[in-house]
Amino acid sequence: MKIYNGGKIFIGLLVFAVLAASPFIFNMGKSKTAEKPDIRIDTPEILKLEDKKCVAPREQMRATHMKVLDSWRDAVVRNDDRSPVLVSGRQYDKSLQNGCMKCHSNKEEFCDKCHAYVEVKPTCWECHIEPKEKKS
């Protein structure tokens, strides 16, 4: 059986294979193992609190904080529901800046380190004004 244009087909397949493998070839040996960030939550606002609790347990917030923020955003922006969240008798505003960032005021330490570690670029600051941190 004779394959017409076999040489051209073989070269085309070879070029395709090289192009498909190029991201893997170029990144070979460049894997980086970043240190897991040690996040300190000892901001002045948190230190003032007697009961240092958030809207959910720490591990749950680490895993699902974006789901919480997205649901708050949808409630506030789409449904005009600005009612505060009650947890253990304490009220939390459904707000990134007036809720979360009120206690977690150290954006560089609290947000940026983890997002850099997992290589995620949050879209929060496309709409919200990014907080200016005081240099001490």
- What's the confidence (pLDDT) of residue 32? 67
Asked if the structure places residue 136 within a domain, the reply is no
In a domain, 3, yes or no: no
Average pLDDT, stretch 98-111? 86
Integer Cα distance of 35 and 117 in angstroms:
8
Containing structural domain, residue 47 = 36-127
Q: Please indicate, yes or no, if residue 97 is contained in any of the structural domains.
A: yes
Question: How many domains, the chain?
Answer: 1
d(CA 4, CA 2) in angstroms, rounded, equals 6
Q: Token pair for residue 6?
A: 């076999």
Asked, for residue 56, whether it belongs to a domain, the answer is yes
Indicate whether 67 belongs to any domain.
yes
**Beta pairing partners, 86:** 91
What band does 21 get if pLDDT is binned at 50, 70 and 90? very high
In a domain, 45, yes or no: yes
Asked whether residue 81 is domain-assigned, the answer is yes
Higher pLDDT, 29 or 119: 119
pTM here is: 0.65
pLDDT band at 3 (very low <50, low <70, confident <90, very high): confident
pLDDT given at position 81: 93
Query: Is residue 61 within 8 Å of 55, Cβ to Cβ?
Result: yes
Q: How far apart are CA 104 and CA 99, in angstroms?
A: 9
Residue-wise pLDDT tens digits, 27-64: 887 766 667 888 777 788 888 888 888 888 888 988 89
In a domain, 7, yes or no: no
pLDDT at 79 over 90: yes
